[in-house]
Structures are given as C-alpha cells and as structure tokens.
C-alpha cells in the first residue's frame, strides 16, 4: 500500500476512534468509495486531473500525502465527535444513499440530519471557506437549539 494511502487511512482511523456513537457527532461524507483500489484511483485523479475530481470535500481537505494540517488543526478545535465516511460506508452504516455527496451530517443518537449539502461544499474554493462554512453552520445550529430552550 502506498505511503500516502496509509497516511490518509491512519489519520482517518485515529480521528474516527474519537467518535462515541451515542453522543452528538459530525459525519463528513466523501463523494468517493472506500477501498485500496478507489484510494489509489482517487489519488491519481487528484494528481493528474484535479479540476474534474468528484469530491470537493476531499480535494480541499487532503493533499496527495494526507489530511492538510490546517484542516486537521481546525477539526481538533471542534467540540463534537467526528466521523469520516466514504459513500459506500455511509450507505452501509446509516442506509443513506439518496443525498448528493459530499455532505456533512449532524448525528444525535441514531438520528442523522443534513447539516451541509453538496452544493454548499462544492461552492467552497479554499480550505478557509470550508472551515467558515462548517463554523457558520455549527453556530446556526447552536442558536436554533438555544432559542428552543428559551
């Protein structure tokens, strides 16, 4: 297995271990399938034809060699559990297949709610725009919860 693929899998696995499936979590769903062949194909696609790559979430957050440092640092500041899934994993784990990907879901218990859709993610052109999108949506979510409790 190429070093870059091992690095991506190691980081994703380490971050997913932080996830406690009974508490609130953010689920980042990539528009790509799991597996070694798909990882190598995606890696080559990003390297040789990045403008036609199908997953903007992956394109923004990962380089050829793994998760971008700025994204990893940002994720570590979030006060929620994190889960990273490929399209096939999202379908098998949560039976979600009718939502355009990439997407970010909020999970509370067994319930999934779409937090950020593909259109919004695909409009992001930089990692900073993506971080702002996630932050804004989490702030809006917090404000809605706060108003409901008032």
Q: Which residue ranges in the chain fall short of pLDDT 50?
A: 1-2, 4-10, 14, 17-21, 37, 40, 44-45, 143-148, 150
Give domain 3-149's CATH architecture.
Answer: 3-Layer(aba) Sandwich (3.40)
Question: What pLDDT shows up at residue 43?
Answer: 54
* Distance from C-alpha of 116 to C-alpha of 133, rounded to nearest angstrom: 8
- Whether a cis peptide bond, with omega within 30° of 0, leads into 102 is yes
Which of 81, 74, 82, 112 lies closest to 95, judged by CA?
A: 112
Question: What pLDDT shows up at residue 8?
Answer: 47
pLDDT single digits (tens) 50-81: 555 567 888 889 877 789 899 999 999 998 89
Question: What pLDDT shows up at residue 52?
Answer: 52
Helices (H), the chain: 3-16, 36-48, 56-61, 69-77, 87-94, 118-123, 127-149
The structural domains of the chain, with segments of one domain joined by +, span 3-149
The phi, psi pair for 120, rounded to 5°, reads: -65, -45
Residues β-bridged to residue 62? 67
Question: What pLDDT shows up at residue 19?
Answer: 44
Question: What pLDDT shows up at residue 63?
Answer: 78
Question: What pLDDT shows up at residue 109?
Answer: 87
Question: What pLDDT shows up at residue 64?
Answer: 74
């Amino acid at each position: 297995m190429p070093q870059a693929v091992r690095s991506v899998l190691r980081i994703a696995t380490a971050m997913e271990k932080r996830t406690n499936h009974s508490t609130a979590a953010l689920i980042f769903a990539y528009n790509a399938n799991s597996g070694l062949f798909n990882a190598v194909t995606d890696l080559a696609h990003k390297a040789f034809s990045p403008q036609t790559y199908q997953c903007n979430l992956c394109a923004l957050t990962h380089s050829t060699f793994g998760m971008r440092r700025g994204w990893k640092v940002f994720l570590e500041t979030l006060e929620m559990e994190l889960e990273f899934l490929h399209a096939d994993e999202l379908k098998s784990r949560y039976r979600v297949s009718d939502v355009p990907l990439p997407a970010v879901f909020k999970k509370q218990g067994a319930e999934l709610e779409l937090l950020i859709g593909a259109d919004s993610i695909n409009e992001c052109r930089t990692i900073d725009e993506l971080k702002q999108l996630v932050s804004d949506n989490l702030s809006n979510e917090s404000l809605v919860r706060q108003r409901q409790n008032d």
